[in-house]
Amino acid sequence: MNNSQRFSALYQRDFRLFWFGQLISLSGTWMHSVAQGWLVYSLTRSPFYLGMVAAIASLPILLFTLIGGVVADRFLKRNLLLLTQALSIVPALLLGILTDLNIITVWHVALLAALLGTVNAFDIPARQSFLVEMVGKGHLLNAIALNSAAFNGARMIGPMIAGLTIAYIGLPACFYLNALSFFAVIIALSKMKMRGDIKVSSKGLIGDFMEGMRFIENEREIYRIILLIAVFSLMGIPYITLLPVFAVEVLGSGPEGLGFLVGATGTGALSAALFIAFRGDIKEKSRFMSISALCFSFSLFAFSISKAFYLSIAILVFTGWGIVSFLATANSFIQLSVPDNLRGRVMSVYALVFLGTAPIGNSIIGVSADYLGTTDAVTISGIICIIASVVFFTKYLKNRQ
Of 23-32, 47-56, 173-182, where does mean pLDDT reach its minimum? 47-56
Convert the pLDDT of each residue in 315-344 to its tens digit.
999 999 999 999 989 988 888 888 877 888
Q: Averaged over 264-278, what is the pLDDT?
A: 85
Computed over every residue of the chain, the mean pLDDT equals 85
Q: What is the pTM of this model?
A: 0.79
pLDDT of residue 365: 81
The residues, any chain, with a CB within 8 Å of residue 360's CB and separated by 6 or more, are 62, 234
The alpha carbon of 288 is separated from its chain's Cα centroid by a whole number of angstroms, namely 20
Q: How many CA atoms lie within 13 A of 299 on its CB side?
A: 26
Binned at pLDDT 50, 70 and 90, residue 110 comes out as: very high
CATH superfamily of domain region 7-191:
MFS general substrate transporter like domains (1.20.1250.20)
Domain boundaries, the chain: 7-191, 201-401
CATH superfamily of domain region 201-401:
MFS general substrate transporter like domains (1.20.1250.20)
Q: Is the pLDDT of residue 289 over 60?
A: yes
pLDDT of residue 264: 83
Convert the pLDDT of each residue in 184-218 to its tens digit.
999 999 998 755 555 555 566 677 777 778 888 88
Q: Do 7-191 and 201-401 share a fold?
A: yes
